[in-house]
Amino acid sequence: MINQINRDGFAVACQDGASGMLALPDRSIKLVYGSPPYPNADRDYGNWKSAEYIDKISPFIDAAIPKLTDDGFLVINVKANREKSTSITSSKRSLVVEKLAIKLEEDWGLHCVDIEIWVKENPAPTGLRVACQDAYEQNLWFSVAPKWSINLDAIRRPYESHSVKTYEGYEYKPRSNGNTYVRKNKKIQPNPLGALPKNIITGPVSARIGNHQATQPFYLPEKYIKATTNEGDLVVDPWLGSGTTGYMAVKLGRRFAGFDLVSDYVEDAKQWLKETRQEVNANA
């Protein structure tokens, strides 16, 4: 596996993601990014119910920890689907994702960079009548090191036009109410690379149609790959699916390894990554 990654820039295998990561060298992975099965979601690749979710995902976290570099990161994109209603209870929102986030820090010793929110511009209608329409997912972003460094410049965003105009003519002054955000008179000079990134990601769900029932939009893995890795670093997705993480990793010059138990997903991803590598090489 590692020889193929070093030679071709990527490798994918039809095997369990936990065992796949365990076969990689210790301290070799800079970023584990993936989207595991969502709690209570009925998919053709299985259903991880809330009550068993922590037990189901634990082997993947256990495998990832020793393989991450000392300055490595783990990012999990996940959404907790609601519990099924009964004759005496409404369909309540599961809190297992919040439970997982706490356990990542308290049990696995990782450090929470942030819990970012992906706001979906075109969420699927659910017909739910006991709560508002479900329109967001969570990205649990954790660091191995308690003091980490990320590439903020790589993920800056365009300034709003009104912000630039405000900065041009406005001087910020200390507030009289004791708020310490501004300690002295100052003007803000816009960064030529753009504004600081937000911990909210807004965009449409993926429009790609393929064998996989839940393909990710490119901009999700792209943000975290850019923020936490450099060219040549190893990115691993233990829930390969359609291969979106691998596509972005290869496109951005990172090495990639991915694992999935569904052979059709693996074969499709392998062909897609091969074509992407050829395209990158041709444009180099």
Clarify whether residues 144 and 26 are in a common domain: yes
Amino acid identity, position 52: E
Query: How many structural domains is the chain composed of?
Result: 2
Clarify whether residues 215 and 98 are in a common domain: yes
pLDDT of the residue at 11: 97
What is the distance between the alpha carbons of residues 3 and 65, in angstroms, rounded to a whole number?
22
Clarify whether residues 105 and 237 are in a common domain: yes
> Residue 210 domain-assigned?
yes
CATH number of the domain encompassing residue 53: 3.40.50.150
pLDDT of the residue at 179: 62
pLDDT in tens, the chain (284 residues): 878 898 889 999 999 999 999 999 999 999 999 999 998 877 665 688 899 999 999 999 999 999 999 999 999 999 988 888 888 999 888 899 999 999 999 999 999 999 999 999 988 777 778 888 889 999 999 999 999 999 999 999 998 877 776 666 666 666 666 666 666 666 677 888 999 999 999 999 875 555 544 578 999 999 999 999 999 999 999 999 999 999 999 999 999 999 999 999 999 999 999 999 999 999 97
In the sheet where 68-78 sits, what is the strand order? 10-14, 255-260, 234-237, 29-34, 68-78, 136-143, 111-120, 200-203
Clarify whether residues 168 and 145 are in a common domain: no
Clarify whether residues 163 and 96 are in a common domain: no
Residue-range definition of the domain harbouring residue 183: 158-195
pTM of the shown model = 0.90
Give the 3-state secondary structure of the chain: CHHHHHHHCEEEEECCHHHHHHCCCCCCEEEEEECCCCECCCECCECECHHHHHHHHHHHHHHHHHHEEEEEEEEEEECCCCCCCCCCCCCCCCCHHHHHHHHHHHCCCCEEEEEEEEEECCCCCCCCCCCCCCCEEEEEEEECCCCCCCCHHHHCECCCHHHHHHHHHCCECCCCCCCCCCCCCECCCCCCCCECCCCEEEECCCCCCCCCCCCCCCHHHHHHHHHHCCCCCEEEECCCCCCHHHHHHHHCCCEEEEEECCHHHHHHHHHHHHHHHHHHHHHC
Clarify whether residues 167 and 26 are in a common domain: no
Clarify whether residues 60 and 146 are in a common domain: yes
Clarify whether residues 50 and 184 are in a common domain: no
